[in-house]
Amino acid sequence: MMPAVYGRAVEDLLLAWFAEHGRDLPWRRTRDPYAILVSEVMSQQTQVERVVPRWRLWLERWPTVEALAAAPAGEAIREWQGLGYNRRALALHRAAQQVAAHGWPDDLTELPGVGRYTADAVACFAFGRSVLPVDVNVRRVSERTGYSFSPAAAQALMDLGKAVCLARIPRCGGCPLAGACPARDRRFEPARRQGPLAGSFRQRRAAALRVVLAGSEPEDAEAVASLARDGLVRIDRDAVSLPE
């Protein structure tokens, strides 16, 4: 095990790198738990560059958790279009309703659609709790270096994993931790990728939902039934519409 003082020195190197190279993301300038929750849910499996403008538009329309909670669920689904995985919009809407009615729970995983990572991210970045949110980038850097980082290094770890400590071929020449990293100059097997969207049932569901959003009746009954089970549409006497 590395001496604690050495671990602190490594973290200092990381934070110095982050001060110069860290991404300037708008949700990093707020401690509002609602705004941070929206950013985390939107960023799941979606490129940050696509999320930034959509996050701003979402908060312009619903600037508070109470505003989102009061909106129809169908409007949240409509606003979500283009971000993928529409169930996230519905879960976010339901979470807003729960918070508006009962406040933020101590255990944030009690909120609909909020798993361990998202709960820890909101706890750390909004509420200042001493917990390190571990996403794929944080886990990769921690495992390769062998160091235990503090919550203060969370955003730096995310950016290092995103820009330098890449999944297959890390850019060790630009890494502030390379000098003592046991994984330096190693190459890694590619991670298992998700199956293609084209021709998948997920694509059929998305197509059926777009038809509903356009005010028409989709013909793909199997996709519609799946959407209805998830609460993304409602079926009333064979008419399909967005939830209220």
Residues involved in catalysis: 40
Q: Which of 143, 141, 151, 206 is nearest to 176 (CA)?
A: 141
Taking the C-alpha atoms of residue 122 and residue 31, their distance in angstroms, rounded to an integer, is 9
Burial 210-241 (b: 16+ CB within 10 A, else e): ebbbeeeebeeeebbebbeeeebbbeeeeebe
CB 168 within 8 A of CB 193: no
Taking the C-alpha atoms of residue 46 and residue 62, their distance in angstroms, rounded to an integer, is 21
CB 197 within 8 A of CB 45: no
CB 92 within 8 A of CB 76: yes
Our CA angle for 47, 48, 51, nearest 5°, is 95
Strand partners, 236: 239
- Considering Cα of 67, then 68, then 69, then 70, what sign does the dihedral take? positive
